[in-house]
Amino acid sequence: MKIKEIINPSDIQDAYEQLVSRKNATLMGGGIFLRLQRRTIPFVIDLSNLGLNSIEITSTGFTIGAMVTLRQIETNASIPDGLRACVRQIAGVAVRNMATVGGSVMGRYPFSDVLTALVSLNATLHFHKKGAVPIAQFADNGLDEPDILLNICVPKVKNSLFAVYKPVYTDFSLVNLSISKEEKYTISMGATPKHATSITVESLSDSHAVLDQFDFETDRRASAEYRRALAKVLLEDAFEEAKVWK
Ligand SMILES: Cc1cc2nc3c(=O)[nH]c(=O)nc-3n(C[C@H](O)[C@H](O)[C@H](O)COP(=O)(O)OP(=O)(O)OC[C@H]3O[C@@H](n4cnc5c(N)ncnc54)[C@H](O)[C@@H]3O)c2cc1C
């Protein structure tokens, strides 16, 4: 990646105006996914100076700034288990020190572990212009116009877990799933190879019925049948783990 021009605004409205007024403006979170691209980016807006890098505990849950790194999430004991377990297994510490939760969501990467965990937690995204957007809606449709993700609100849950299969530790997921429990259970499945979708169930009694609610497809990394077989095992293990939840 080569950058022709970069700015580092300290005012969110200024950053937004630059985004919508400059042709080919690109927002940068941690920048590590952007830098994998072999292209020249004409104009980058670095979001690191906007004060979006803290995690706040609220009466109803957590507000996670878009520039919070995966490592900050991993090391914060207040964050729900499912989200911490998810980020803990992503690449190495050096990557997790740089990759931001905002970049992880906004990329809408179909393999994303972070998206799967946040969909099961019924998180809400807060954008500068558009305001609040449920994460499942964003995962399905993206945004219809450029915007800056400010933070992610994660409601309190009683329990949550995350499970994944990767051929090798540093690889991308062949399938991933997350379960959270408040009154009901929300189960999300991602990397199918499409991005995460979720269902809500009253109890975790029938993993076969749950499995049937999700679609699996073939890509160059794995067949639909293989992904479905992996998901079956992950779901059965997850149901077993969740048996002790109050
Ligand atoms: C070696 C490596 C291995 C990885 N392995 C995994 C893995 O196993 N599982 C997994 O889930 N992820 C994995 N990732 C992805 C990683 O977790 C992050 O999702 C990714 O690096 C993007 O985060 P970033 O902060 O670098 O975003 P950037 O590269 O800065 O940005 C990514 C995209 O999001 C946009 N963007 C960034 N912040 C905002 C914002 N606040 N508002 C609006 N748009 C924004 C950018 O314009 C860009 O389009 C891996 C990444 C690398 C480099």
Taking the domains of the chain in order of start, what are their residue ranges? 1-48, 159-242
Q: Which amino acid is at 160?
A: S
pLDDT digits (tens, 9 = 90+) for 213-233: 999 999 999 999 999 999 999
Kindly report the protein residue whose alpha carbon is nearest to atom 49 of ligand 1: 107
Kindly report the protein residue whose alpha carbon is nearest to atom 2 of ligand 1: 91
pLDDT band at 35 (very low <50, low <70, confident <90, very high): confident
For the chain, percent of residues with pLDDT exceeding 90: 93
Predicted local distance difference test score (pLDDT) of residue 32: 93
**Cβ–Cβ < 8 Å for 62, 153:** yes
Predicted local distance difference test score (pLDDT) of residue 164: 98
The answer, yes or no, to whether any atom of ligand 1 lies below 6 A from the CB of 199, is: no
Considering the domain delimited by 159-242, tell me its CATH architecture: 2-Layer Sandwich (3.30)
pLDDT digits (tens, 9 = 90+) for 168-212: 988 999 999 999 999 999 999 999 999 899 999 999 989 999 999
pLDDT digits (tens, 9 = 90+) for 126-157: 999 999 999 999 999 999 999 999 999 999 99
Predicted local distance difference test score (pLDDT) of residue 231: 98
Predicted local distance difference test score (pLDDT) of residue 36: 86
Enter the CATH code of domain 1-48. 3.30.43
The answer, yes or no, to whether any atom of ligand 1 lies below 6 A from the CB of 117, is: no
pTM listed for this prediction: 0.96
The answer, yes or no, to whether any atom of ligand 1 lies below 6 A from the CB of 103, is: yes
pLDDT band at 38 (very low <50, low <70, confident <90, very high): confident
pLDDT digits (tens, 9 = 90+) for 66-106: 999 999 999 999 999 999 999 999 999 999 999 999 999 99
Mean predicted confidence (pLDDT) in 54-58: 95
Count CA within 13 A, CB hemisphere, residue 120: 31
